[in-house]
């Protein structure tokens, strides 16, 4: 198979473990942990996961894409997560730029997150793709800007190994498409699940500081690099790359 799965009862962070192995581990190495003692979220946040209630794993994948083109990877991974959940019978999965996986009508709650860290050498870029999904009762609000949601709100929760297998299948397929064609190859699949497509949104500055509003506009989706496109009130279209901005409903 294309995957080499290592299951750990506990580690600090599956992303951290794979980063340490990134020079030697084969593409397709997966670390899945029952418990993380220092799970990481984007922008320096902590990812909390009660052992029985979440699926937390990381996948190492070597990419030949130009570094400049890797920005859309976290969106592409969101597509794979959504497709895997749909394959397991979960209805109502939505995506929010850049990489939140949401559940419920109009994307009410955050079901999971994606944290991608890169380790590059001369030959290629190794992407460490970390995914955390809430299976049961959402953890308390923890500063992610959205209420948490869990899979059990959408029906029976698939067995953990069934879910992991579906996720890895979908990831292999989506990553092949991404390597061959960049984000453009999966853009339609992303936009069809984007909860704020064509809706008014606010783009905020770094929310770890003051949440000061940066700009409001209508969300036009993502361009072929995965940059967010906003139509501003004066008619201009601006693009924003993944960085220290976050998106809210206006
Ligand atoms: C986010 O929403 O900010 C991203 C959260 C990513 C959490 C996952 S859990 C598995 C992997 N290991 C980590 O330490 N983080 C990611």
pLDDT of res. 209: 47
- Which residues is 172 bridged to in the sheet? none
**Over 70: is that where the pLDDT of 127 sits?**
yes
Whether ligand 1 lies within 6 angstroms of the CB of 226 is answered as: no
Q: Are 33 and 57 in contact (CB under 8 A)?
A: yes
Q: Check pocket membership of 28 for ligand 1, CB cut-off 6 A.
A: no
Report the percent of the chain where pLDDT is more than 90. Answer: 65
Ligand 1 atom 11 nearest Cα: 130
pLDDT in tens, 3-25: 999 999 999 999 999 999 999 99
Report the candidate in 72, 29, 71, 70 with the shortest Cα–Cα distance to residue 168. Answer: 29
**231 or 69: which leads in pLDDT:** 231
The number of the ligand 1 atom at minimal distance from the alpha carbon of 39 is 14
How far is it, in rounded angstroms, from Cα 196 to Cα 189?
A: 14
For 54-64, how does the pLDDT look when each residue is reduced to its tens digit (9 = 90+)? Answer: 999 999 999 98
Give me the sign of the Cα torsion angle 157, 162, 166, 171. Answer: positive
User: Which among 33, 38, 40, 44 is positioned nearest to 7, based on CA atoms?
Assistant: 33
pTM of the model: 0.92
Q: What is the C-alpha separation between 158 and 107, in angstroms, rounded?
A: 21
Higher-confidence residue of 243 and 28: namely 28
CB 115 within 8 A of CB 130: yes
Residue 40 CA to residue 135 CA, distance in Å, equals 18
All domains in the chain, ordered by first residue = 4-191 (3.30.930.10), 200-249 (2.30.30.100)
Cα(34) to centroid of ligand 1, in Å? 13
Res. 46: pLDDT tops 80: yes
User: For a pLDDT cut of 70, what percent of the chain falls above it?
Assistant: 88
Is the per-residue pLDDT at 216 higher than 70? yes
Contact between 6 and 28 under an 8 Å Cβ cutoff? The reply is no
pLDDT at 208: 45
Ligand 1 neighbourhood includes 42 CB (under 6 angstroms): yes
pLDDT for position 140? 64
Does any ligand 1 atom lie closer than 6 A to the CB of residue 110?
no
């Amino acid at each position: 198979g294309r995957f080499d799965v290592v299951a750990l009862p506990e580690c600090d962070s599956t992303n951290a473990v794979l980063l340490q192995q990134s020079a030697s581990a084969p593409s397709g190495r997966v670390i899945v942990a029952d418990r993380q003692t220092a799970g990481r979220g984007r922008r320096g946040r902590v990812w909390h996961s009660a052992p029985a209630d979440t699926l937390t794993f990381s996948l190492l994948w070597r990419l030949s894409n130009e570094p400049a083109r890797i920005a859309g990877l976290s969106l592409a991974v969101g597509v794979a997560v959504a497709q895997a959940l749909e394959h397991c019978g979960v209805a109502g999965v939505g995506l929010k730029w850049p990489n939140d996986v949401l559940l419920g009508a109009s994307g009410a709650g955050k079901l999971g997150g994606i944290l991608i860290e890169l380790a590059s050498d001369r030959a290629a870029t190794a992407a460490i793709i970390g995914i955390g999904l809430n299976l049961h009762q959402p953890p308390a609000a923890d500063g992610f800007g959205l209420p948490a949601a869990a899979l059990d709100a959408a029906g029976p929760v698939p067995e953990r190994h069934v879910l992991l297998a579906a996720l890895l299948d979908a990831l292999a397929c989506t990553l092949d498409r991404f390597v061959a064609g960049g984000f453009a190859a999966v853009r339609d699949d992303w936009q069809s699940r984007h909860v704020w497509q064509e809706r008014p949104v606010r783009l905020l500055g770094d929310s770890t500081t003051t949440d000061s509003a940066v700009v409001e506009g209508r969300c036009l989706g993502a361009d072929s690099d995965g940059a967010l496109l906003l139509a501003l009130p004066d008619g201009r279209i601006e693009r924003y790359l993944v960085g220290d901005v976050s998106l809210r409903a206006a």
